[in-house]
Structure 1
Amino acid sequence: MAPFRCQKCGKSFVTLEKFTIHNYSHSRERPFKCSKAECGKAFVSKYKLMRHMATHSPQKIHQCTHCEKTFNRKDHLKNHLQTHDPNKISYACDDCGKKYHTMLGYKRHLALHSASNGDLT
């Protein structure tokens, strides 16, 4: 059994670091702030902040092999590569017909429709 158990939701964690990061989800605290004045983003861990900082870099070393697009983060390139996959799944919005290639993008879009209709749950 994991030694760190959350009193609020019951989840257990093996390390104090992961337990601490999890606790931020309850408090909504984001102690690791981006140093770029124009950005204003903050994160629950130093790792997520460092990953974010790459988005401010002018160097885009990850290049798509199918087109000319370049990215400063490898995971952004990986997401982009899905747009070139001939077997990709497409999620279409029943309300407006807009199509998405990731479930995350599709769910974010549906949330916008819900919010504009007054449903904020």
Structure 2
Amino acid sequence: HTGERPYRCEECGKSFRHRSTLTIHHRVHSGERPYKCPECHKSFKNSSELVRHGRIHTSERPYDCSQCGRRFGDTSQLVRHWRIHTGEHNHPNPTCGKSFSNRPRLTNHRLVHTGEKDYHCPDCGRGFNRRSNLLVHQRSHLEQKPFICLDCPKSFTCSNQLIQHRQIHSEEK
């Protein structure tokens, strides 16, 4: 472990320890996403992203909080959650002083002050502050429900709806 990074990207100059990591990195520039989810057909640049994504459909949550027992699909979600217990909120909003546990939550909160809705539905014109919210909304027009419950015939337009629904089945057991 010398820290040597002999594999260099010709496009951006970033260096890597392993050739395989450089190969995956090249996909950032090429846009190639060869790993496709068989459930919803979303594509990913490496297999680990596909595996992590797959947990949305299966509701698998292998990482649990030692403090409260809540379970998560990946370690980054667990780390974010852990901040609830530690009280760590080191991302303050200069406009109102409210503080957040991570930058994406702060960024999302700022839209409350600006009211910006840059993403508009081409079918009905409804505006959204996030692209992901627009994409979920568009599924309602197409009647796409790729998130399927394994315990009953219900399906949902977004993963949060499935996760909320699955609590019904966990209470039944």
Distance 1:16 1:31 in 2: 18
User: For the Cα contact (< 8 Å) 1:57–1:72, is it kept in 2?
Assistant: no
Q: What RMSD in Å do the two structures reach over aligned CA positions?
A: 3.3
Deviations 1:5-31 (A, max 9, x none): 222112222322111111111122222
Deviation at 1:33, TM superposition (A): 1.5
How many residues were matched structurally? 114
- Structure 2: gaps (5+ residues): 119-173
State the match for 1:4 in structure 2: 7
The 1:97–1:49 alpha-carbon spacing in structure 2 relative to 1, beyond 3 Å, is same
Distance 1:18 1:8 in 2: 15
Q: Which protein has the larger Cα radius of gyration, Structure 1 or Structure 2?
A: 2
Aligned residue identity for 1:30: R
Of residues 15, 18, 21, the one that matches 1:15 is: 18
Distance 2:89 2:60 in 1: 31
- Structure 1: gaps (5+ residues): none
Distance 1:113 1:47 in 2: 37
Give identity over the alignment, percent.
31
State the match for 1:69 in structure 2: 70
User: 1:66-105, aligned counterparts within 5 Å?
Assistant: 66-67=67-68, 69-86=70-87, 88-95=88-95, 99-105=99-105
Distance 2:23 2:100 in 1: 34
Distance 2:17 2:61 in 1: 36
Q: Return the TM-score normalized by structure 1.
A: 0.66
